[in-house]
Amino acid sequence: MLDKIHSLLSEIDRVTASNADELEALRIKYLSKKGIISVLMDDFRNVAPEQKREVGMKLNELKQKAQEKMQSLKDQFESNKGKDAEIDLTRTAYPVSLGTRHPISIVKEEICDIFKRLGFSIAEGPEVEDDWHVFSSLNFAEDHPARDMQDTFFIQSNPDIVLRTHTSSVQTRVMEKTQPPIRIICPGRVYRNEAISYRAHCFFHQVEALYVDKDVSFADLKQALLFFAKEMFGADTKIRLRPSYFPFTEPSAEMDISCNLCGGEGCPFCKYTGWVEILGCGMVDPNVLDNCGIDSKIYTGYALGMGIERITNLKYQVKDLRMFSENDVRFLEQFQAAH
């Protein structure tokens, strides 16, 4: 019997099964009530008394080894089954590279996050707008150059309908429906009828901010601008405000920041001035408040607006605006670490 047991131990070591049916057949062969091992167990009573101890130990070893082998093959089938279920047979054989968010989206959310920390909430509006919300309510004169076909996309069948040229139209919609205090930022896509080049495009993205309440002053605006510049470009960033003109603000200003490439020393990027213009701002014109149903004798406010592409250019030194809309994977892959 010992020779038979040793032969079975070697045999069980070599057994394999390619599917569940073959595994069940092996189990029946070795471990069922009429299987080989059960038959040997029945014959054990015929073993000579002096061999019982040794034969009994070998029989137990054989049974345990057979059970472990069956379990091992079963685990192997279940593991392979799980792997097969996870394989997508329609998937390309080529490696799928990690995607990335668009640099415009990255910078837009960073800008919004900074203003959220100042208490601003996000407001959105339609991209196809009417003349009132884009121009008239914002104090644009009838003969203002911005109304010219060279700057604005008009809907041919209805000249009163345009593609918005700025997200200020969202501000007017909010002011019409909401009484102060109002503290909003308005991110979105805008359109202007311009020739496409490395420095201009027929569509781009803006973020505008509006704060209307009692006793809002230019000092409040300046403090918000300084906070934004330092958070966006670094703690050493300086700002300066230059007088300017916008129909919807009075007084108006343009804001420059110290060049983040040369630290204000002067370089080709800042044209050796040490300063780079990034946004326009000012106190909301009283006519705009009155047009939107807010009493300009009680409330004041400030507004500011910037192009997201401009901020992205400064942050990542992208020199061609067209790259933002070409969906070149080689360009987008550079921003994988900027999430």
Instruction: Give the pLDDT confidence of 271-303 residue by residue, as tens digits.
Output: 888 898 999 999 999 999 999 999 999 999 999
Question: Which residue reads 């034969």 in tokens?
Answer: 55
Q: Are residues 57 and 175 in the same domain?
A: no
Q: What is the pLDDT of residue 221?
A: 96
95 falls within a domain: no
92 falls within a domain: no
Distance of alpha carbon 270 from alpha carbon 130, whole angstroms: 38
**Pick from 216, 224, 308, 316: which is nearest to 269 by CA?**
316
Six-digit token string for 264: 């204000």
**Pick from 80, 69, 82, 83: which is nearest to 31 by CA?**
69
Other CB atoms within a 10 A radius of the CB of residue 231 amount to: 17
**Pick from 227, 287, 278, 286: which is nearest to 253 by CA?**
278
CB 303 within 8 A of CB 282: yes
245 falls within a domain: yes
Report the run of H or E that residue 213 belongs to, with start and end: strand 203-213
The 3-state DSSP composition of the chain as helix, strand, coil percent (nearest 5) reads 45, 20, 35
Across 196-214, b (16+ Cβ under 10 Å) vs e yields eeeeebeebbbbbbbbbee
Out of 22, 51, 86, a domain closes at: 86
Residue 273, domain extent: 103-338
Q: Are residues 80 and 114 in the same domain?
A: no
- Any residues with CB less than 8 A from the CB of 323 and at least 6 apart, and which? 331
Q: What is the pLDDT of residue 240?
A: 94
SS3 75: helix
Q: Are residues 165 and 260 in the same domain?
A: yes
Q: Are residues 239 and 117 in the same domain?
A: yes
96 falls within a domain: no
Q: Are residues 207 and 310 in the same domain?
A: yes
The sign one gets for the Cα dihedral 94, 97, 99, 104 is negative
Number of residues in the chain: 339
- Residues (pLDDT < 50) of the chain are none
Q: Are residues 6 and 109 in the same domain?
A: no
Other CB atoms within a 10 A radius of the CB of residue 313 amount to: 21
Q: Are residues 61 and 111 in the same domain?
A: no
304 falls within a domain: yes
Out of 86, 115, 141, a domain closes at: 86
93 falls within a domain: no
- pTM value surpassing 0.75: no
Count Cβ atoms within 10 A of the Cβ of residue 287 and give its class: 0-12 exposed, 13-18 middle, 19 or more buried.
middle
Q: Domain of 179: which CATH number?
A: 3.30.930.10
259 falls within a domain: yes
Count Cβ atoms within 10 A of the Cβ of residue 132 and give its class: 0-12 exposed, 13-18 middle, 19 or more buried.
middle
94 falls within a domain: no
Q: What is the pLDDT of residue 217?
A: 95
Q: Are residues 125 and 269 in the same domain?
A: yes
Q: Are residues 60 and 206 in the same domain?
A: no
Q: Are residues 75 and 135 in the same domain?
A: no
Six-digit token string for 207: 């973020």
Q: Total structural domains in the chain?
A: 2
Q: What is the pLDDT of residue 115?
A: 95
- Any residues with CB less than 8 A from the CB of 70 and at least 6 apart, and which? 23, 26, 27, 30, 31
Six-digit token string for 46: 């015929």
Q: Are residues 82 and 112 in the same domain?
A: no
Distance of alpha carbon 167 from alpha carbon 192, whole angstroms: 12
Out of 57, 86, 115, a domain closes at: 86
The sign one gets for the Cα dihedral 210, 281, 260, 264 is negative
Q: Are residues 114 and 18 in the same domain?
A: no
Q: What is the pLDDT of residue 80?
A: 62
Q: What are phi and psi of 122, to 5 degrees?
A: -90, 135
